[in-house]
Amino acid sequence: MPRESISQRKLRAAKIIAGLEAAYPEAHCELAYASPLELLIATILSAQCTDKQVNIVTETLFKKYRSATDFANAKPAELESDIRRIGLYRNKAKNIQAACRAIVEKHGCEVPRTMPELLELGGVGRKTANVVLGNAFGVNEGVVVDTHVARLSQRLGWSAHGAPDKIERDLQELAPRDKWALLSHLLIWHGRRRCFARNPDCPGCEVNALCPTGQRILKGAAWKPGM
């Protein structure tokens, strides 16, 4: 695909987003939650873990711990045991308790609604904050960049970077602000259902005509890791 101007890249991005919206009209966060606090906890647990596995654990976890105070006051060993089937459970238990103590002590037991306040909570980075803001509060502060979003951003020619913060800036430049939260869902759903890490289904892809990687593969290029 020839080198594009920023206006051409934005136009192509708009067409891709529209194509993904048509393909996945129900795209949404697949973590199960009923409150901002539950989404915050689930997102902390989801690092290097599947949403399906997190949802299995939180189904019982959220019945036992119903408030930030419950999590903050839990015995560390007991909370670790409650999330043991999730990877990095000891570190995640510490992060959950640190975040919940801050919520109790500094925010009246309510999850804060701004990026700076969320980033001050223990164990909360920009990705987690973006998930909470975009899904619990409907605030388009940024774009969630997980492994799927990073992979598809490179394949679609939207970013040449590997660092999440740089990928996020590239996506924010291409997509209108009111699409930022939705964009991450669309890319994650497409990554899970079509644009797999290995052997992506380019022939069946709904936006292959707009994807430089897909076009190379459809023209006969052999798929290889890194594409």
The CATH number of residue 147's host domain is 1.10.1670.10
Q: Which two tokens stand for residue 11?
A: 């136009």
pLDDT in tens, 134-163: 999 999 999 999 999 999 999 999 999 999
pTM of the predicted model as reported, rounded to 2 decimal places: 0.92
Q: Is the domain of 118 the same as that of 44? A: yes
Q: Is the domain of 42 the same as that of 116? A: yes
Q: Are 57 and 45 in contact (CB under 8 A)?
A: yes
pLDDT band at residue 223 under the 50/70/90 scheme: low
Q: Is the domain of 53 the same as that of 113? A: yes
Task: Find the domain containing 213 and state its range.
Answer: 6-27+143-218
Q: Is residue 222's pLDDT more than 90?
A: no
Name the domain boundary from 104, 136, 168: 136
Q: Which two tokens stand for residue 226?
A: 């890194």
Which of 82, 92, 127, 170 is labelled catalytic? 127
Element (H, E) at 40: helix 36-45
What is the predicted pLDDT for the residue at 82?
A: 97
Rg of the chain, C-alpha, whole Å: 19
Q: How crowded is residue 142: how many other Cβ atoms within 10 Å of its Cβ? A: 23
pLDDT in tens, 193-216: 999 999 899 999 999 999 999 998
The question of whether 165 is a catalytic residue gets the answer no
Give the pLDDT mean for 2-19.
92
Name the domain boundary from 116, 136, 156: 136
Rounded distance, CA 59 to CA 126, Å? 25
Residue the block writes with tokens 């076009």: 215
Give the pLDDT mean for 165-192.
97
What is the predicted pLDDT for the residue at 225?
A: 66
Give the pLDDT mean for 65-73.
97
Q: Give the number of domains in the chain.
A: 2
Residue 63: partners with Cβ closer than 8 Å, 6 or more residues away: none
Q: Is the domain of 132 the same as that of 161? A: no
What is the predicted pLDDT for the residue at 226?
A: 66
Burial 210-227 (b: 16+ CB within 10 A, else e): bbebbebbeeeeeeeeee
pLDDT band at residue 227 under the 50/70/90 scheme: low
Which of 51, 70, 94, 146 is labelled catalytic? 146
pLDDT band at residue 2 under the 50/70/90 scheme: low
Rounded distance, CA 111 to CA 100, Å? 9
The question of whether 127 is a catalytic residue gets the answer yes
Q: Is the domain of 179 the same as that of 112? A: no
Q: Which two tokens stand for residue 63?
A: 């019945």
Rounded distance, CA 139 to CA 1, Å? 34
Nearest CA to 200 out of 167, 166, 225, 169 is that of: 225
pLDDT in tens, 20-66: 999 999 999 999 999 999 999 999 999 999 999 999 999 999 999 99
Backbone angles phi, psi at 108, to 5 degrees: 60, 35
